[in-house]
Amino acid sequence: MGYEDFNEVDFALDNFFCQWVLKPDIRADAFWMEWLRIHTERSREIQQARKLVLVASMDIATMDIATMDIAVVDIENSEQNPSEEIIDKLWNGIVQRTQTVPRIIPLYRRRYFVNAAAVILLLFVTFIGYRFTFNDETTYETANGEIRRLQLQDGTMVTLNANSKLRLPSSWGVAGREAWLEGEAFFKVKKQDRDGQHIKFIVHTDDVDVEVKGTEFNVNTRQDKTRIILSEGNIQLRLVNEKKEVLQMKPGDLVDFSKARQALAIRKVSDTHSWYSWKDNRWTFESTPLSEVATLITETYGFPVNLKGDSTGNQKVTGIIPSDNLEDILASLESILDVQAEQSDKQISIQPNPN
């Protein structure tokens, strides 16, 4: 479908767009991320349409009559009322998405429902979103083997790796741009200024605060440490410990911070992309011990890996293998190394090939 001529309301009334906002899946994410990449100038309209869909998905049946009456008075005194046509469309969308289709709506109830829809839309148009200001924090989570791509309200793109969690406060984008990460994620931060001042984007982990401008970087908080790889732009790291050390990172820098040893290490890498190729559903290895690959499998798919034989874990893996299917990963390891891999309901066993 072509969306080039759509406005905010058209997007908000489109079923495929609503699916992406309310119940995103890989297919919808892939389509809309590619559409936004091609039509970057439409990102503001998409952001507004997303807000409208979220507001319209509210269950207005839970609103009490007194609250509605107050809202109706505010609407009637406003000069920014939406058109009847938009109100009707919004009302129909609310009915469909809340799955409440009454056969007959009494006129006095219809008045409350229609005016409530007008209140919702007016809140969107004037950016008075109590839903966005006072709601609890927003949490994005991924399951075993799942990669999720997100576009935040400011246009920042986030790719969340398997078994990871990203938390945003209710005031995100209004009081600042701060996020809390558990697991692994790749960030492509969009620069943002307000009144000539740069708005910081900060990613918090248990060990460090990552402060960035417009940049691309990967953060991994697994294995009792935090690892940051900077691909583009500049990063300032601030350790969350008694020393409060500050480190400036440049493109190509890889930083490891060990929580157990409270030790910070920095080194240069020639190919940063290989460290986060997971976001493109593949793993890149260069003389990587099989023991580390086994840990990566457990972190991604949740299966413990039993390496049989004293030297099995020391075998080195070099190459690029697909990472979106566990069976393909095991088959690739068997083709690269002289091992046999077996998967049961509860674990994976890798042993030297008996042949």
Report the pLDDT value the prediction gives residue 353, as an integer from 0 to 100: 82
Report the pLDDT value the prediction gives residue 121, as an integer from 0 to 100: 53
Tell me the C-alpha distance between 132 and 172, whole Å: 9
Residue linked to tokens 């972190």: 299
Residue 32 or 99, more confident: 32
Report the pLDDT value the prediction gives residue 133, as an integer from 0 to 100: 38
Question: Coil, strand, or helix at residue 224?
Answer: coil
Report the pLDDT value the prediction gives residue 333, as an integer from 0 to 100: 92
pLDDT tens digits for range 269-299: 989 999 999 999 999 999 999 999 999 999 9
pLDDT at residue 74 tops 80: no
Q: At the topology level of CATH, where does 281-352 sit?
A: Phage tail protein beta-alpha-beta fold (3.55.50)
Report the pLDDT value the prediction gives residue 79, as an integer from 0 to 100: 41
Tell me the C-alpha distance between 267 and 54, whole Å: 44
Tell me the C-alpha distance between 145 and 330, whole Å: 14
Q: Do domains 136-271 and 281-352 have the same CATH topology?
A: no
The long-range contacts involving 262-270, CB below 8 angstroms and separated by at least 24 positions, are 264/239, 269/229
Report the pLDDT value the prediction gives residue 55, as an integer from 0 to 100: 62
Q: Which CATH class, in words, describes the domain spanning 136-271?
A: mainly beta
Report the pLDDT value the prediction gives residue 242, as an integer from 0 to 100: 67
Tell me the C-alpha distance between 30 and 330, whole Å: 26
Tell me the C-alpha distance between 296 and 259, whole Å: 19
pLDDT tens digits for range 325-349: 899 999 999 999 989 999 887 899 9
Q: How many CB atoms lie within 10 A of CB 39?
A: 13
Q: Kindly give the pairing relationship between strand 348-352 and strand 305-307.
A: parallel
pLDDT at residue 313 tops 80: yes
List helix spans (H) across the chain.
8-12, 15-22, 26-38, 43-56, 65-76, 84-98, 107-125, 130-134, 290-301, 326-336
Q: What is the mean pLDDT of residues 244-257?
A: 89
Helix (H), strand (E) counts: the chain: 10, 21
Ranking 64-73, 196-205, 262-271 by mean pLDDT, the lowest is: 64-73
Tell me the C-alpha distance between 279 and 70, whole Å: 48
Residue linked to tokens 């009559």: 65
Q: Say if CB 185 and CB 158 are below 8 A apart.
A: yes
Q: Say if CB 16 and CB 28 are below 8 A apart.
A: yes
Report the pLDDT value the prediction gives residue 148, as an integer from 0 to 100: 93
Question: Please, what is the average pLDDT of the chain?
Answer: 77
Q: What is the mean pLDDT of residues 27-42?
A: 79
Residue 264 or 321, more confident: 321
Q: Please state the domain extents for the chain.
A: 8-132, 136-271, 281-352
Burial 273-291 (b: 16+ CB within 10 A, else e): eebbebbbeebbbeebebe
**Sequence-distant (≥ 6) Cβ neighbours of residue 70 within 8 angstroms:** none
Report the pLDDT value the prediction gives residue 224, as an integer from 0 to 100: 81
| Banded model confidence at residue 57, pLDDT cuts 50, 70, 90 | low
